[in-house]
């Protein structure tokens, strides 16, 4: 090989390298920032594509030098490094080495700071899975906070995301307020001053999140949900989930707060005020135009209007075929059994559970379809009849959609509940129940006479038994006034109180009252039989000196 | 945590020496055969035989008459050469940079910041030092040979063994200085980075009820706490300070109704971020008389027990520890309970009138070196009270280290058998039992309180031909999961047994001298609550003899790194005596990897890890093939080649020492003393290996000389 051929070969190599650099430069040239502009512009094809798709690191969120250094240090083997770290994290978790687990998770996130699922998954892992491994509820609370802190860190890296904010709302609400240790968690959260101070860097921590008793986790959760809504409203993030569910979250936190306040403290003005705020927020939610999966908008509060329209159109059809609907209805009613007929004719709120089913069957049997009415419109008005039918079908569809959406969020129940809970009657019922529980805990089971040491006057102090009875009386009045609560969770909540009352009676060797003031409630919810079963069981196990 | 299964150095050495001798002779024999075979190829059978014997016979005088002076001269040369290469400067600069900026990213607010700090400095030092060892040891000889500067040495009356030993020694001296200075800087970095104090605003003390959760902090008050306050926030945390009742004494007869005369409380700093604090001196006792009560704020110096001169000397430099308390004296017994006494005047007012400033010490129970005394044996009783072969019950956790015993009426127990505990091992008439338990709940139970258990001592003695079992009254405790909880118990225990007539008997005894049977007794652990389980491992329960010196423990850990450096240096020098620089560097890196990942390689070899050997794994990686799928077709041949490769690697894991064993960061970070015997064991292994390497290096250099 001659010297000259070697030289030319080198020249060719260098030329090829030089040529290859041109397309490389066109592709990979970084964008530059022009003076006075925050956003980078220009750059190679890749830089421009990143900018267009909003994938540039600077447009996703903060750039962390540690994170970037770590990514760089992996020399393009980020995927391998992340896989190893995930594997390590799982191993540490299995070995219950929580410190190492936590440190590894922090390393993973340095390599994948814009991967939202990683933030969500690992925050959930820490707050839900790791925290429960600890026997001490205080340690559990600390680990829940670690999970929350971890998720908060993700905000800075992902400014255009709303999911982390929603998750934060969910974690602050449900993990602190719905765990087995919720009483303890909420109490610790209320008094965690340093933590409140830290949260102040992200969300308003003034009166928005406070009640008379301190800062409330549900109200903090609402702030996170509000922030998520702000991002969507301001166009920073694109909403890619159900509008119905997305906008439900923030107002729900107010009633959760009110419910927990009633459980933890004697139900008084602060809880009532929260119910009032919850009603207002729920109404606002009902008035919001929600984009549906059919790509049309609807408002949950439009049900009455839609129903009115539907009925108006039906009436218009009926006018075209006078008496047809009634005639068909009467014919079909004749086919109902006497039980079905009785249940069908009974006022809905007075029906027992069995009657509810019978009435449902009856409704199916007697239903007159609009098509049947339209088919019987005189032939000279037939076209008009079918036009009316199509309008009815469209109105019916609109109504069904609204109803469907309302039932998904239990909208009507919560609307009524928020209203009912503000009433004096409800507050009295809840206060009596709270007092009854307190007396039960103090083992003051029945009424006692108490003598004032100063005046010598004797006063009668109600015991747990009488207080429970008073509470149940009040509750029966509440259910009379707001029958919708019977079908909701309120009646189910009362089951626990009835169980406590039953135990009080057992300790006093007294029978369960028959009839019971809330019989109509439990007959409706189907727990009447259960209550009777319990009664039978307790009677069987009781000595013969029992009440029966 | 700790080294519960460690065999004492005295037990290990005799048996190991014999094994080592046997292996050495076998290796020498195999080496001779190998050398002869190579010789046959190069010189023919008779010439090879002659050269082999010549080499062996020359080796003895060469090794026997090694001149320390010449070794020292070579060592000096090696040091000078290394200093000229400035690699030391680069490594040290990297270390300094890591400490300067790495500290910014260390999470001081974690539950155990000391683990993060120690992991950082020890990991960093180990990496840099081994990197240094690799660079300087593998490049030195080949460069000399390449530059022909070696001839200026070998033309002198110097032996091959002296060249090898001199170089290793020179590099070791460099390593010693580097590791020593890095260790010293690291120590001050860790201690300085973790040290912090808190102060307490005495006006913030508020009344709490013992064991109540209705506190100003929302945290549960201790069982005997009457006041609480929060310290200032420092190092990203605060501590709860509690006033806990220590002792009550009543008037005449000491009966209820005779009124309290004295109540003694202590101010206790509650654990946070894996540590607690003592208080600094409040400047002696301070008194106040108000409302018929004499309040005395007192301080007690806590004496530290040391073992050995070095530990005592190091303890002199540590901060003095004080316990601060409040004594309340009443002349006439008018108060029936401490609540009534405390109601006379709020604590914050008392302390404010005394004009007291409460400042804590630096962290305690953070950088420590507990000296444990482990049980010789752990056995389990099943639910029926029978000894079971199984290691407790499984509660379905992945971590199988802990066996579980259930609570309530179950007779399940964990029994730790101790032997050899002597009174002199403890500083006073108390013994401390450390426990590190796991808890498993099958039901929610009482959320506020942790699961309770009890511990008692048991011994069976033979008296007059009868076996009598003595048990002490159980000590009930509330478990503390994922942390070490200490039960301080009096050595005077009340022993209960059934006498010859079958009557119950009881007597006070000294645990170690009277209760124990020639130093043998059992610690029995039970879980008290039905539906709850305790998880225990052999190291879960032990007697804490004392707190050793953390500085000394830290030094032992760095000594482990030094041993690793020695192994790398001697390996590098030996390999470079017959390989060129880059190949010897690569070979040393491979040896290092085998030394660090021996367990992994053995798991691959025994197919405990799926995915096959290096070739099969590479194929799977490239084709993104699942590790559990079978290889099909002709590509299956790679797995046959892998069998050989993996076997070779497995054999290498038995030849190259396990580097991870010499890295004692785990017990150091967990706060356990590294036993001197263990350090001795590591030292012996490392020196033996280095010695063998030097001999191999001698022969290979000699061969190379001949070839040259």
- The pLDDT assigned to B636 comes to 85
Q: Measured between alpha carbons, how far is residue B167 from residues A420, B143, B376, B455, B592 in Å?
A: 90, 13, 45, 58, 20
- DSSP annotation of A207 reads G
For residues B295 and B317, give the distance between their C-alpha atoms in angstroms, rounded to a whole number: 34
**How many C-beta atoms surround the C-beta of residue A263 within 10 A?**
17
For residues A432 and A477, give the distance between their C-alpha atoms in angstroms, rounded to a whole number: 13
Residues B308 and B387 in one domain: no
**DSSP 3-state assignment of A112?**
coil
Mutation choice for B interface testing from A80, A104, A135 by most B CBs within 10 A: A135
Positive or negative, the Cα torsion across B213, B219, B222, B227?
negative
- The pLDDT assigned to A544 comes to 40
Residues B619 and B679 in one domain: yes
**How many C-beta atoms surround the C-beta of residue B449 within 10 A?**
16
- Counting one residue from chain A and one from chain B, the pairs whose CB atoms sit within 8 A come to 61
Residue B583 lies in a domain: yes
Q: Are A530 and A537 in contact (CB under 8 A)?
A: no
Q: Which of B364, B390, B412 is the C-terminal boundary of a domain? A: B364
Q: Which residues of chain A neighbour B480 with C-beta distances below 8 Å?
A: 136
Task: Name residues whose C-beta falls within 8 Å of residue A138's C-beta, 6 or more positions apart in sequence.
Answer: A184, A188, B219, B220
Structural domain of B501: 376-537
Using CB atoms within 10 A of its CB, is residue B616 exposed (0-12), middle (13-18) or buried (19+)? buried
Task: Name residues whose C-beta falls within 8 Å of residue B416's C-beta, 6 or more positions apart in sequence.
Answer: B375, B377, B378, B522, B523, B524, B525, B541, B542
Question: Does B439 contact A181 at a Cβ distance shorter than 8 Å?
Answer: no
Residues B350 and B205 in one domain: yes
Nearest CA distance, B528 vs chain A (angstrom) = 15
| Lowest-confidence region among A540-544, B194-198, B300-304 | A540-544
For residues A448 and A465, give the distance between their C-alpha atoms in angstroms, rounded to a whole number: 11
B288, containing H or E segment: strand B286-290
Tokens of A294: 């059919």
Tokens of B28: 């020498």
**DSSP 3-state assignment of A518?**
coil
**DSSP 3-state assignment of B301?**
strand
Q: Which residues of chain A neighbour B219 with C-beta distances below 8 Å?
A: 138, 188
For residues A493 and A477, give the distance between their C-alpha atoms in angstroms, rounded to a whole number: 16
Tokens of A85: 């770290």
- The pLDDT assigned to B100 comes to 83
Q: Does B273 touch chain A (CB under 8 A)?
A: no
**DSSP 3-state assignment of B483?**
coil
Tokens of A97: 């080495």
What residue of A is the nearest CA neighbor of B234? A194
B371-427: per-residue pLDDT in tens? 999 999 999 999 999 988 788 899 999 888 899 999 988 899 999 999 999 988 887
Within 13 Å and on the Cβ side, how many CA atoms surround B226?
22
- The pLDDT assigned to A56 comes to 66
Residues B422 and B510 in one domain: yes
Rounded mean pLDDT of B130-149? 84
The DSSP code sequence of B557-613 is: HHHHHHHHHHHHHHHHHHHHTTS-HHHHHHHHHHHHHHHHSHHHHHHHHTT-SSS-S
Residues B41 and B81 in one domain: no
Convert B553-571 to b/e letters by CB count within 10 Å (16 or more is b): bbbbbbbbbbbbbbbbbbb
Residue B6 lies in a domain: no
Residues B206 and B299 in one domain: yes
Q: Measured between alpha carbons, how far is residue A495 from residues A198, A356, B575, B637 in Å?
A: 40, 21, 80, 69
- DSSP annotation of A204 reads -
B595-639: per-residue pLDDT in tens? 999 988 999 888 888 888 889 999 998 888 888 888 888 888 888
Q: Which residues of chain B neighbour A98 with C-beta distances below 8 Å?
A: 111, 482
Q: Does B480 touch chain A (CB under 8 A)?
A: yes
Kindly indicate the confidence band of residue B257, based on its pLDDT and cuts at 50, 70 and 90: low
Q: Which residues of chain A neighbour B213 with C-beta distances below 8 Å?
A: 184, 187
- The pLDDT assigned to A246 comes to 96
The DSSP code sequence of A289-320 is: -EE-TTS-EE-GGGHHHHHHHHHHHHHHHHHH
Nearest to A187 among B213, B439, B480 (CB): B213
- The pLDDT assigned to A456 comes to 77
Instruction: Provide the edge-to-edge strand list for the sheet that holds B403-406.
Output: B403-406, B532-536, B438-441
Residues B441 and B572 in one domain: no
10-residue averages of pLDDT along chain A (548 residues): 79 92 81 53 76 67 70 81 92 90 89 91 95 93 95 91 96 96 94 94 95 95 97 90 95 96 88 94 96 92 95 94 92 91 86 86 91 92 93 94 94 92 91 93 86 78 92 91 80 85 92 86 62 49 38
For residues B213 and A409, give the distance between their C-alpha atoms in angstroms, rounded to a whole number: 36
Q: Are B121 and B189 in contact (CB under 8 A)?
A: yes
By C-alpha distance, which of B204, B2, B170 is closest to B88? B170
Residue B145 lies in a domain: yes
Kindly indicate the confidence band of residue B254, based on its pLDDT and cuts at 50, 70 and 90: low
Q: Which of B364, B389, B424 is the C-terminal boundary of a domain? A: B364
Tokens of A83: 């896989």
| Greater pLDDT, B662 or A308 | A308
Residue B176 lies in a domain: yes
- The pLDDT assigned to B255 comes to 61
**DSSP 3-state assignment of B456?**
strand
- The pLDDT assigned to A298 comes to 95
Structural domains in chain A plus CATH codes? 60-258 (1.25.40.10), 301-414 (no CATH), 423-541 (no CATH)
B contact residues 116-155, partner A, Cβ 8 Å cutoff: 116
pLDDT at B496 over 90: yes
Question: Does B218 contact A194 at a Cβ distance shorter than 8 Å?
Answer: no
Rounded mean pLDDT of B110-135? 90
Q: Structurally, how many domains does chain B consist of? A: 4
Mutation choice for A interface testing from B447, B477, B479, B481 by most A CBs within 10 A: B447
Q: Does B458 touch chain A (CB under 8 A)?
A: no
Residues B471 and B411 in one domain: yes
Residues B524 and B388 in one domain: yes
Residue B543 lies in a domain: no
B6-47: per-residue pLDDT in tens? 566 777 777 777 877 888 888 888 888 888 888 888 888 888
Mutation choice for A interface testing from B98, B211, B219 by most A CBs within 10 A: B219
Q: Measured between alpha carbons, how far is residue B303 from residues A26, B135, B365 in Å?
A: 73, 48, 15
Residue B2 lies in a domain: no
Which residues on neighbouring strands pair with residue B295, listed in sequence order? B288, B328
Q: Which of B537, B566, B588 is the C-terminal boundary of a domain? A: B537
Residue B84 lies in a domain: yes
For residues B696 and B575, give the distance between their C-alpha atoms in angstroms, rounded to a whole number: 9
- DSSP annotation of B262 reads E
Long-range contacts of residues B18-24, Cβ cutoff 8 Å, at least 24 apart: B20/B688, B24/B692
- DSSP annotation of B481 reads B
Using CB atoms within 10 A of its CB, is residue A387 exposed (0-12), middle (13-18) or buried (19+)? middle
Within 13 Å and on the Cβ side, how many CA atoms surround B280?
15
Q: Which residues of chain B neighbour A106 with C-beta distances below 8 Å?
A: 107
Residues B189 and B247 in one domain: no
- The pLDDT assigned to A548 comes to 30
Nearest to B448 among A99, A184, A194 (CB): A184
- CATH number, domain of B450, equals 2.60.120
pLDDT at B668 over 50: yes
Residues B491 and B555 in one domain: no
Kindly indicate the confidence band of residue B227, based on its pLDDT and cuts at 50, 70 and 90: very high
Rounded mean pLDDT of B580-606? 90
- The pLDDT assigned to A33 comes to 52
Q: Does A91 touch chain B (CB under 8 A)?
A: no
Residue B7 lies in a domain: no
Q: What percent of chain B has pLDDT over 90?
A: 45
- DSSP annotation of B393 reads B
For residues B580 and B569, give the distance between their C-alpha atoms in angstroms, rounded to a whole number: 16
Mutation choice for A interface testing from B218, B239, B534 by most A CBs within 10 A: B218
- The pLDDT assigned to A151 comes to 95
Residues B458 and B404 in one domain: yes
């Amino acid at each position: 090989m001659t010297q000259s051929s070697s030289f030319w070969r080198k020249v060719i190599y260098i030329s090829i390298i030089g040529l290859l650099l041109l397309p490389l430069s066109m592709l990979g040239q970084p964008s530059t920032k022009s003076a006075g502009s925050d956003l980078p512009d220009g750059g190679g094809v890749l830089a421009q594509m990143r900018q267009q798709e909003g994938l540039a690191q600077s447009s996703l969120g903060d750039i962390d030098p540690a994170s970037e250094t770590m990514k760089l240090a992996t020399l393009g083997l980020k995927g391998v490094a992340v896989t190893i770290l995930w594997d390590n994290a799982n191993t540490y978790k299995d070995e219950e080495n929580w410190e190492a687990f936590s440190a590894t998770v922090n390393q993973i996130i340095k390599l994948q700071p814009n991967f939202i699922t990683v933030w969500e998954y690992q925050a959930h892992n820490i707050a839900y899975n790791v925290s429960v491994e600890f026997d001490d509820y205080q340690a559990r609370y600390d680990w829940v906070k670690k999970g929350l802190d971890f998720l908060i860190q993700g905000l800075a890296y992902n400014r255009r995301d709303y999911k982390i904010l929603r998750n934060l709302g969910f974690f602050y609400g449900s993990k602190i307020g719905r765990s087995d240790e919720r009483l303890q968690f909420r109490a610790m959260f209320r008094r965690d001053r340093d933590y409140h101070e830290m949260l102040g860097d992200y969300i308003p921590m003034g009166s928005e999140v406070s009640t008379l008793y301190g800062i409330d986790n549900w109200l903090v959760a609402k702030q996170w949900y509000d922030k998520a809504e702000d991002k969507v409203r301001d166009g920073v993030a694109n909403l890619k989930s159900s509008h119905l569910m997305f906008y439900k979250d923030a107002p729900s936190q107010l009633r959760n707060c009110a419910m927990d306040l009633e459980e933890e403290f004697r139900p008084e003005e602060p809880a009532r005020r929260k119910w009032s705020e919850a009603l207002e927020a729920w109404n606002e939610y009902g008035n919001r135009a929600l984009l549906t999966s059919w790509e049309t908008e609807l408002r949950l509060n439009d049900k009455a209007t839609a129903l009115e329209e539907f009925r108006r159109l039906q009436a218009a059809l009926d006018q075209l075929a006078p008496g047809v609907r009634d005639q068909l209805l009467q014919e079909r009613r004749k086919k109902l059994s006497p039980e079905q007929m009785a249940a069908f004719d009974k006022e809905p709120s007075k029906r027992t559970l069995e009657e509810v089913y019978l009435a449902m069957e009856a409704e199916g049997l007697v239903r007159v379809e609009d098509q049947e009415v339209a088919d019987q419109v005189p032939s000279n008005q037939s076209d008009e009849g079918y036009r009316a039918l199509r309008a009815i079908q469209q109105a019916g569809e609109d109504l069904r959609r609204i109803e469907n959406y309302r039932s998904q969020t239990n909208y009507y129940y919560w609307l009524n509940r928020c209203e009912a809970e503000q009433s004096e009657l409800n507050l009295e019922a809840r206060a009596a129940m709270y007092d009854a529980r307190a007396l039960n805990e103090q083992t003051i089971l029945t009424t006692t006479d108490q003598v004032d040491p100063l005046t010598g006057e004797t006063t009668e102090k109600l015991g747990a038994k009488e207080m429970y009875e008073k509470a149940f009386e009040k509750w029966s009045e509440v259910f009379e006034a707001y029958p919708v609560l019977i079908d909701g969770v309120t009646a189910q909540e009362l089951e626990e109180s009835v169980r406590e009352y039953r135990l009080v009676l057992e300790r006093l060797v007294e029978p369960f009252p028959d009839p019971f003031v809330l019989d109509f409630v439990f007959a409706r919810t189907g727990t009447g039989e259960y209550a009777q079963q319990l009664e039978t069981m307790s009677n069987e196990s009781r000595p013969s000196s029992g009440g029966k | 945590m700790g080294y519960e299964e460690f065999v004492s150095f005295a037990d290990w050495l005799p048996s190991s020496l014999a094994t080592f001798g046997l292996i050495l002779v076998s290796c020498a024999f195999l080496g001779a055969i190998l050398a002869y075979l190579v010789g046959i190829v190069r010189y023919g059978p008779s010439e090879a035989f002659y050269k082999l014997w010549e080499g062996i016979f020359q080796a003895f005088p060469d090794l026997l008459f090694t001149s320390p002076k010449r070794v020292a001269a070579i060592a000096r040369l090696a040091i000078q050469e290394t200093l000229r290469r400035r690699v030391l400067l680069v490594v040290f600069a990297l270390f300094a940079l890591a400490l300067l900026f790495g500290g910014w990213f260390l999470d001081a607010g974690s539950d155990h910041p000391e683990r993060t700090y120690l992991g950082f400095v020890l990991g960093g030092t180990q990496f840099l030092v081994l990197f240094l060892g690799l660079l300087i040891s593998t490049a030195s000889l080949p460069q000399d040979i390449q530059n022909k500067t070696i001839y200026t040495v070998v033309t002198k009356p110097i032996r091959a063994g002296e060249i090898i030993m001199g170089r290793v020694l020179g590099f070791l001296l460099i390593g010693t200085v580097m590791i020593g200075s890095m260790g010293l800087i690291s120590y001050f970095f860790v201690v300085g980075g973790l040290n912090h104090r808190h102060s307490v605003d005495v006006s913030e003390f508020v009344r709490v009820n013992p064991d109540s959760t209705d506190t100003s902090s929302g945290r549960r008050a201790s069982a005997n706490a009457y006041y609480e306050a929060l310290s200032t926030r420092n190092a990203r945390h605060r501590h709860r300070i509690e006033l806990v009742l220590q002792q009550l004494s009543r008037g005449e007869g000491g009966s209820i109704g005779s009124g309290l005369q004295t109540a003694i409380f202590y101010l206790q700093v509650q654990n946070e971020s894996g540590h607690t604090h003592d208080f600094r001196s409040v400047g002696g006792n301070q008194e106040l008389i108000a409302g018929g009560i004499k309040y005395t704020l007192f301080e007690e110096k806590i004496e530290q027990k040391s073992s050995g001169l070095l530990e005592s000397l190091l303890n002199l430099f540590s901060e003095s520890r004080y316990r601060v308390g409040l004594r309340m004296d009443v002349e006439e017994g008018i108060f029936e309970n401490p609540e009534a006494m405390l109601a006379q005047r709020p604590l914050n007012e008392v302390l404010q009138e005394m004009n007291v400033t409460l400042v804590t010490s630096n962290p305690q129970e953070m950088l420590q070196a507990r000296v444990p005394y482990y049980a010789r044996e752990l056995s389990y009783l099943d639910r029926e009270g029978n000894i079971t072969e199984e290691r407790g019950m499984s509660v379905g956790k992945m971590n199988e280290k802990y066996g579980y015993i259930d609570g309530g009426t179950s007779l399940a127990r964990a029994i730790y058998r101790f032997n050899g505990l002597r009174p002199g091992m403890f500083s006073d008439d108390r013994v401390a039992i450390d426990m590190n338990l796991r808890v498993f709940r099958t039901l929610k139970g009482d959320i506020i309180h942790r699961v309770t258990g009890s511990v008692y001592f048991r011994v069976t003695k033979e008296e007059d031909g009868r076996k009598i079992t003595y048990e002490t009254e159980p000590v009930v405790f509330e478990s503390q999961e994922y942390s070490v909880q200490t039960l301080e118990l009096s050595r005077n225990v009340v022993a209960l047994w059934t006498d010859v007539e079958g009557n119950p008997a009881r007597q006070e005894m000294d645990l170690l001298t009277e209760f124990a049977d020639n130093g043998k007794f059992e610690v029995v652990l039970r879980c008290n609550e039905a539906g709850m389980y305790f998880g225990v491992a052999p190291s879960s329960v032990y007697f804490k003899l004392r707190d050793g010196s953390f500085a000394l423990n830290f030094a032992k850990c760095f000594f482990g790194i030094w041993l690793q450096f020695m192994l790398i240096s001697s390996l590098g020098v030996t390999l470079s005596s017959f390989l060129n620089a880059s190949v010897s560097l690569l070979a040393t890196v491979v040896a290092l990897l085998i030394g660090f990942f021996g367990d992994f390689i053995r798991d691959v070899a025994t197919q405990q890890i799926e995915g096959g050997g290096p070739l099969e794994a590479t194929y799977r990686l490239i084709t993104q093939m699942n590790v559990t799928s079978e290889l099909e077709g002709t590509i299956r041949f790679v797995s046959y080649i892998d069998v050989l490769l993996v076997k070779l690697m497995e054999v290498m894991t038995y030849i190259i020492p396990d580097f991870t064993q010499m890295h004692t960061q785990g017990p150091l970070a967990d706060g356990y003393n590294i036993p001197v015997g263990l350090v001795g064991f590591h030292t012996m292994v490392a020196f033996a290996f280095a010695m063998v390497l030097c001999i191999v290096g001698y022969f290979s250099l000699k061969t190379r000389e001949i070839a040259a």
